[in-house]
Amino acid sequence: MYVSRVSTRPLSNQSAAQLSKAVAFFAQSYGLSNACTAHVPSRRAFTSASKIQVKGRDLFPEPEHGQIKRTEPAWPHPPYTTEQMRSKVYFAHRKPRDFSDRVALGMVRFLRWCTDFATGYKHNVEEPKKASDSNALTATKPYQMSERKWLIRYVFLESVAGVPGMVAGMLRHLRSLRGLKRDNGWIETLLEEAYNERMHLLTFLKMYEPGIFMRTMILGAQGVFFNSFFLCYLFSPRTCHRFVGYLEEEAVLTYTLSIQDLENGHLPKWADPNFKAPDLAVEYWGMPEGNRSMRDLLYYIRADEAKHREVNHTLGNLKQDEDPNPFVSVYGKERAEKPGKGIENLKPLGWEREEVI
């Protein structure tokens, strides 16, 4: 009979440090306290996290380097004022005008149905019954959307929303290379849009940690959506830009409803004065002191989605192979209103070709 020998030699300082880090990471990952009393959160749809705000472990901590202190964004965010975000941004729908528009709208409606089903989104609820009603408790439906459910929806939507700009920018970049010609400014705007959507996702990940099931769903959705959009853009870029315009209409509606929920008192955790936007968001949007609440953050993100709606509806109105990008162009004559990177002259339904070309 053989008995395995156990080494009784003390660990070196380096080995002890590595073991300590491994134990600490394991404890944080599985929610173990210092006293090793384990608490495993209940498994729910799309996530294994039970808290609204991630505590203890940062999903993407700042790397520690000897010389680099911070990395500035490649595309600084244009400034928005509170008055602009609240008066110029609202839900609007562009009616389809031809077969291409109807195809794009139909695709968005199908995608919206799939996303609502997958994330358990239910917004419309009955009004609470009066206390004098005998069946007040049984007849009143509980409010469907909570802070946690909104974050599930945000994370899933933003993980998909960052795909179209990158795919379109990549394809136009490759076409410019093989065609040996300029792209007239479209590539930069499309890549900046993808970057902006990714910043939305990173901001929400500072508040919420997806579980393994949601990560798997995001992986599958990205694979299907990327390849589908890639093929569609090869055949009809105009339809794809109209599709994204309609998709951003849905995004503006989603954030408008969540802002209404917050302002109507349905999301008390976000209404708490101590709940502040993550530092990542404060730096990216340049949120001023005193305007860093969750409501302020949602106003900034909704304004971004409204800008993407304007940009893509406008690009869908242009000749894809000839027209320059009006959002980065310099106009010969001074104009009272013209497209730009900000939301000063925001047009919810996009600019018509004769207005900008």
Per-residue model confidence as pLDDT tens digits over 132-153? 556 655 555 666 788 999 999 9
Whole-prediction pTM value? 0.80
The 3-state DSSP class for residue 330 equals: coil
Is the pLDDT confidence value at 216 over 50? yes
Calculate what percentage of the chain has a pLDDT beyond 90: 61
The 3-state DSSP class for residue 74 equals: coil
Give the residue numbers of the binding site. Answer: 158, 197, 200, 248, 305, 308
Q: What's residue 344's pLDDT?
A: 92
Q: How far apart are CA 340 and CA 324, in angstroms?
A: 13
User: CA separation (Å) from 241 to 111, 297, 347?
Assistant: 15, 26, 16
Handedness of CA 202, 204, 208, 211 (dihedral sign): negative
Q: What's residue 140's pLDDT?
A: 59
Of 41-50, 200-209, 237-246, which range is least confident?
41-50
Q: How far apart are CA 224 and CA 230, in angstroms?
A: 10
Tell me the residue type at 339.
Answer: P
Give the residue numbers of the binding site for Fe cation. Answer: 158, 197, 200, 248, 305, 308
Is the pLDDT confidence value at 245 over 80? yes
**CATH architecture, domain defined by 82-121+144-329:** Up-down Bundle (1.20)
Greater confidence (72 vs 202) lies with 202
Domain boundaries, the chain: 82-121+144-329
pLDDT band at 31, cuts 50/70/90?
A: very low
Structure tokens at 146: 């909570």
- Tell me if 186 sits within 8 A of 328, measured CB to CB: no
**Span 88-144, pLDDT tens digits:** 999 999 999 999 999 999 999 999 888 888 777 876 655 555 555 566 555 556 667
Q: What is the mean pLDDT of residues 322-342?
A: 86
CB-based burial, 134-172: b 16+ in 10 Å, e otherwise? eeeeeeeeeeebbbbbbbbbbbbbbbbbbbbbbbbbbbb
